[in-house]
Amino acid sequence: MGWLQRLRGTFSRSGDDFDAEARFHLDERTDEYVRRGMYPEDARQAALRRFGSITLAKERTGDADMLRWLHDFRRDTAYAVRMLLRSPGFSVLAILCLTLGIGANAAVFSWIEGILLRPYPLVVDQDRLFAVTGTDRGAPGHSDVSWPDWLELQRRSTLVDAFIGEKITGSTLSIGDRAERASGSMVSANYFDAIGVHPMLGRGFEPGEDSGRNAHPVTVISYQIWQERFRGDPAIIGKTQVLAGLPHTIVGVMPKGFFGTFVGYAFQFWVPASMQAQFDAGVYKLEDRGARWIEGFVRLKPGVTIEQAQAELSAIAARLEADYPETNRGRGIRLWPLWQTPFNNAGALLPTLGIALVVVLSVLLIACANVGNLLLVRAFSRQQEMTIRLSVGAGRGRLVKQLMTEGLILSAIAAAGGLVVATWLRNALALLTPPRGGVLLRLPGDLDWRVLALSAGVCVIATLLFGLVPAMLSSNVDLAGALRSQSGGVVGARSRAWVRSALVLVQVSLSFVLLVGAGLLIKSLQAVRSASPGFSTAGVLATGVDLFTAGYDPQRARTFQDELVDRLQAIGGVESAAFSRMTPFSYRNYSTAPIAVDGYDAPPDQQPTADYNEIGPGYLSTMGIPLVSGREFTRADNETAQLVAIVDETMAAQFWRGADPVGRRVQVRGRWMQIVGLARTAKYRNLLETPKPFLYVPLRQNFSATTALLIRTPQGPATLAPVLVREIHALDPNVAPSELITMREQVDRTTAAQRISVTILVVFGGLALVLAAIGLYGVMAATVSQSTRELALRMALGASASDLLRLVLSKGLVLTAGGLALGLVAALQATRLLGYLLYKVAPHDPLAFASAFMVIAAASLVACVVPAWRATRTDPLRALRG
């Protein structure tokens, strides 16, 4: 139990103990000497002499007391606090630099934790959770899984604990007099049990509730709508709520803090997968092996690796392919780590957050270099203190420890400030992400213990980075040298100068890399903005009209749609209007179907598929998508007429090898359609997509009552919105359009990832530049002030002011040039990380490099001119005499 005693000894007042013991010893010794015949006075003196240095004995006893270290630490801390208070300007600057560095890091850590690593609050065992999607042989990316396949996987797999199926959906939520869009999820019946989150009121779904066409109209609602929309009604269970046009019984309320399992959105309700047809505008897919719509997660059994599970699921998928070649040809199953989940915002944010991490680490490095530089400058002015402390016997280790303590206090304060910054920044990502009509965004940072621990680690590493070198250098004072003159420096030749120059080199090069990155992303964003999506973004407005939820049957809906288009086109200022199932660039998915074409033989193990949009008459002209040949759909292409389709040029090139396909036929989902038109290829989902075959079918022949409405008009949304509402209400006062926005805005919403990256890089790139400029200024200013004597001598020997200016400037610019060269090498490597965020910009774009170069050069010129100018003001007489 030695350590316990040592610990007690450390905190108990062992010094007093020792004094008492020594006093006893002296008293006894004095008595002894008195017994031997000395006078008490002399005896006392003799005893004292005999004892020797009480302080020394006490020190040595204290040494044994151990945790000496703790004593030292306490003393060092007190001393460090005093020293930091004595130079508040330095302390504030250093703490500010580090706060920004550490805060930015903590914020990005918290984003990565809250969005990528453990994105789902309350969900258990997220480290065994993996996303699962389908794949198509020969096609990149992912697709969904059909419900029969999903059940089969579940039945045959032995390594998977639970298959957690879900699909994002939405409904108008009309409670009282308020109607708004709410996002929700269709889930497998085991959903709540499998994720380990149980309703706080009522129940989850029961086994079997996910089967049977629209057989179980029950719903579990979120705590949030229970509180906000139902005012926390304690008797909510058993009440009904209309969702997607059908009354659902509310069977459960989820606990506070549960938002579902979809990165980016907070879900408001959950329904069993059996309600799929109701939420998909009546298309029943539960027994259709060809309809792929479900996605979700698997929880692996403990100890099972993703590779093992992947191998098993691929084997099952291969057997399904053999058993059901008609529907499953070329289809596979793929597992993804949560942070790569392709069907929610995790996959989209992954590169952005990766870049953010690199950027904030660079900023932290720059901040550390700056603080290190500041510490060096201060160490120089504290040289006398160090010299004195060394000469009165302080060990070098003690000095280093002392300086490191000061550094640790600086970074501890900065870390505390950084966590405050991180708390502010927690929801910054959600703020940078554009809203999507009524859908609750949720992109939170999570400041859990892992993030705190990591931030503490960063703080310690930062201290070592910025503190150790200056501490070693300044404790290594040359005693004799320090006694000599202090102002004998020469420009460019000073003991510690190379370390400081190296720090500046690192800063300049890192800033250069960040600025190049920012420049590339800005250019890319401009390219994205000015890129043509293949349809008009100006003069076209988009909104949604959901007739299915309003309870329309297909016949009534068709009539309503025709009448509304007629009414709108009769308004002055509206050129045309058209319905379609989907607006391009919306977050919903296009219909997709297996296709066949006469004379085109796909490889035997592949099943050609294509996405398509169901469009009304005049859609292409309203959207401004040019027809290459043939015609648009008309009202005559109705449910009784011959089935028709329009294909795009990409599809024509692939299936008809560039020949005009008008007049040929294509089979979509087993139905042959006559091709009546060839449309120019447009972008359908986002600006960066690679062209895939795409076709259009008439809305009339492939009906959906949930539709988008597109209006070509020179008027803005604000002017047209009331007109639109008036016209719709004239037809039916119970139908309301959703948000009316320009197509421009619709397109901009898909470039959120680029804009977030640009914002992060520009903000932090600018910050880095400022920090680097401060660093360069610091070095130059110190160089000048330390070499006053040399400058004076040069002046006395006839150097003109401009000579001195050139001398100092050239020294600063050599540093900058070195940093730029280093940065160039790093940037050429690093910009490739920007990957898919770059659109029509080469990673080595000369313009981005040149502008970063100019910005850095300008900033360093500014940082050097002031010290250089001061050099020219050296008064040779005073400097040489002094």
Partner 1 sequence: MLRRHRKPDALQGTLDLLVLKTLSRGPHHGYGIAADIESISDDILRVEEGSLYPALHRMEHLGWITAEWQTTANNRRARLYKLTRAGQKRLEDEQVKWDRLTKAVGKVLRFA
Q: Measured from the CB of residue 880, what is the shortest distance to partner 1 in angstroms?
A: 49
Using CB under 8 A, pick the residue from 34, 38, 67, 770 that binds partner 1.
67
The candidate with the shortest Cα–Cα distance to 643, out of 696, 582, 705, is 696
The b/e string for 356-373 (b: 16+ C-beta within 10 A; e otherwise) is bbbbbbbbbbbbbbbbbb
**Distance, CA of 269 to CA of 250 (rounded, Å):** 10
Indicate the length of the chain as a whole number. 882
Reference 635, options 575, 547, 713, 699; nearest CA is 699
Q: How far is the CB of 16 from partner 1 (least distance, A)?
A: 12
Give, for 472, the enclosing helix (H) or strand (E).
helix 449-475
Tell me whether residue 18 or residue 869 sits nearer to partner 1 (CB atom): 18
Task: Count CB neighbours of 15 within 10 A.
Answer: 13
Question: Cβ of 556: how many Cβ atoms within 10 Å?
Answer: 14
Which range of residues in 26-34, 196-204, 288-296, 609-617 is near partner 1 by CB under 8 A? Answer: 26-34
Dihedral sign for Cα atoms in the order 623, 628, 633, 636: positive
Q: How far is CA 167 from CA 278, 291, 375, 397, in A?
A: 13, 13, 56, 62
* 1, 235, 392, 797: residue in contact with partner 1 (rule CB under 8 A): 1
Q: Judged by CB under 8 A, does residue 733 bind partner 1?
A: no
433 in Cβ contact with 344 (< 8 Å): no
From candidates 29, 301, 389, 635, binder to partner 1 by CB under 8 A: 29
From 55, 144, 272, select the one nearest 592 (Cα to Cα).
144
> Shortest approach of partner 1 to residue 71 CB, angstroms?
12
Helix (H, G, I), strand (E, B) or coil at 611: strand
Per-position x/- string for 139-158, each x denoting binding to partner 1 as judged by CB under 8 A, each - no binding: --------------------
Binding residue (CB under 8 A) for partner 1 from 11, 12, 19, 27: 27
HEC string for 751-807: HHHHHHHHHHHHHHHHHHHHHHHHHHHHHHHHHHHHCHHHHHHHHHCCCCHHHHHHH
Q: Which stretch binds partner 1 (CB under 8 A): 24-32, 80-88, 655-663, 672-680?
A: 24-32
**18 touches partner 1 by CB under 8 A:** yes
Task: Establish if 17 lies at the interface with partner 1 (CB under 8 A).
Answer: yes
Nearer to partner 1, 41 or 63 (CB): 63
| CB 391 to partner 1: min, Å | 25
Part in contact with partner 1 (CB under 8 A); list of ranges 21-29, 309-317, 593-601, 672-680? 21-29
Q: Report the C-alpha gap between 645 and 695 in whole angstroms.
A: 7
Which amino acid is residue 707, in one-letter code? Answer: T
Asked whether the beta carbons of 615 and 710 are under 8 A apart, the reply is: no
In the complex, least distance from residue 402 CB atom to partner 1, rounded to whole angstroms? 15
Structure tokens at 91: 């302390």
Contact between 25 and partner 1 per CB under 8 A: yes
Return the residues of window 45-64 that contact partner 1 according to CB under 8 A: 50-53, 56-57, 60-61, 63-64
Quickly list H helices, 113-204: 147-156, 191-195
Residue 802 touches partner 1, criterion: CB under 8 A? no
Q: CA nearest 170: which of 652, 738, 813?
A: 738
Least distance to partner 1 from the beta carbon of 43, Å?
14
Nearer to partner 1, 53 or 640 (CB): 53
Shortest Å, Cβ 856 to partner 1: 44
Where helices occur in 698-751 by DSSP H, the ranges are 717-731, 743-748
* By CB under 8 A, residue 744 contacts partner 1: no
Candidate segments 18-26, 73-81, 166-174, 677-685, binder of partner 1 by CB under 8 A = 18-26
- Closer to partner 1 by Cβ: residue 53 or 690: 53
Residue with smaller CB distance to partner 1, 31 or 803: 31
| Comparison of 24 and 79: residue with beta carbon closer to partner 1 | 24
- Closest CB to partner 1 among residues 22, 531: 22
Our CB check for partner 1 shows the closer of 14 and 154 to be 14
Q: How far is the CB of 1 from partner 1 (least distance, A)?
A: 7
Q: How far is the CB of 41 from partner 1 (least distance, A)?
A: 20
Q: Using the rule CB under 8 A, which residue among 11, 12, 24, 424 binds partner 1?
A: 24
Please state the closest distance from residue 84 (CB atom) to partner 1, in A.
25
| Per CB under 8 A, 19 contacts partner 1 | no
Among 34, 38, 46, 66, binds partner 1 (CB under 8 A): 66
Least separation in angstroms between residue 64's CB and partner 1 is 4
- Span near partner 1 by CB under 8 A; candidates 14-22, 283-291, 557-565, 853-861: 14-22
Q: How far is the CB of 39 from partner 1 (least distance, A)?
A: 20
The residues, ordered by sequence, that sit 6+ positions from 115 with a Cβ below 8 Å of its Cβ are 263, 345, 346, 349, 353, 429, 443, 444, 445
Looking at residue 385, its amino acid is E
Distance CA 455, CA 453 (A): 5
Q: What is the Cα–Cα distance from 187 to 769, expressed in whole angstroms? A: 49
C-alpha distances (whole Å) from 514 to each of 239, 359, 510 are: 56, 7, 6
For residue 12, state whether it binds partner 1 (rule: CB under 8 A). no
Q: How far is the CB of 23 from partner 1 (least distance, A)?
A: 9
Query: Residue 59 CB, nearest distance to partner 1 (Å)?
Result: 9
Pick 472 or 602: Cβ nearer partner 1: 472
Residue 69 vs residues 6, 410, 431, 474: alpha-carbon distances, Å: 12, 20, 48, 21
Output Rg (C-alpha) for the chain, integer angstroms. 37
- Applying CB under 8 A, among 19, 32, 803, 875 the residue interacting with partner 1 is 32
Q: Does residue 20 belong to the site contacting partner 1 (CB under 8 A)?
A: yes
Contact flag: residue 598 with partner 1 (CB under 8 A)? no
306: buried, middle or exposed (CB in 10 Å: 19+, 13-18, 0-12)?
middle
| Options 22, 159, 627, 641; binder of partner 1; rule CB under 8 A | 22
Contact region with partner 1 (CB under 8 A), list: 66-74, 121-129, 608-616, 822-830:
66-74
Interactions with partner 1, residue window 69-128 (CB under 8 A): 69
46 versus 139: smaller Cβ distance to partner 1: 46
| Longest alpha-carbon distance in the chain | 137
Only one residue has tokens 């539709």, namely: 707
For partner 1 (CB under 8 A), the number of binding residues is 31
The CA–CA distances, whole Å, from 11 to 64, 70, 401, 536 equal 14, 9, 21, 77
Q: Which residues of 361-433 form beta strands (DSSP E)?
A: none
Binding mask 234-263 for partner 1 (x = CB under 8 A): ------------------------------
CB atoms within 10 A of CB 548: 21
Residue 58 vs 556, nearer CB to partner 1: 58
21 near partner 1, judged by CB under 8 A: yes
Beta carbon of residue 30, minimum distance to partner 1 (angstroms, whole number)? 10
Give me the residues that bind partner 1 (CB under 8 A), please: 1-2, 5-6, 9, 17-18, 20-22, 24-25, 27-29, 31-32, 50-53, 56-57, 60-61, 63-67, 69
